[in-house]
Amino acid sequence: MAFTIHGIDQELDKRLTERARQERISKNRLVKTLLARAMGLVPSDRENEDYREFLGVWSQADKDSFDRVQSDNERVLDEDWK
């Protein structure tokens, strides 16, 4: 099944193009995925796409801050296992 969407404004087209490029997928695939999500469906071949929107969201400063806060979790102490 195919259909055409008329009257897509320039800003929406620009955002769709940018997001498709970021996700390294076609604009067609992106629109189908977005529509499926909006309708509460999970595209059968894209189960792992659920979290893609969160990838690349943090700045380097955010990552550094998170790493500092979590650094204590990298150490395993013997007494923690007794």
Residue 5 lies in a domain: no
Give the C-alpha separation, 73 to 69, whole Å: 9
**Which residue is it, tokens 């150490």?**
75
Task: Enter the pTM of the model.
Answer: 0.50
Q: Is residue 31 part of a domain?
A: yes
Q: What are 51-69's pLDDT values in tens digits? A: 777 777 888 899 899 999 9
Residue 82 placed within a domain:
no
Residue 66 in domain: yes
Q: Letter for the amino acid at 33?
A: T
Phi-psi region of 56 (alpha: psi -120 to 50; beta: other; left: phi over 0): left
For residue 41, give its domain range.
Answer: 12-72
The count of domains in the chain is 1
Predicted local distance difference test score (pLDDT) of residue 82: 77
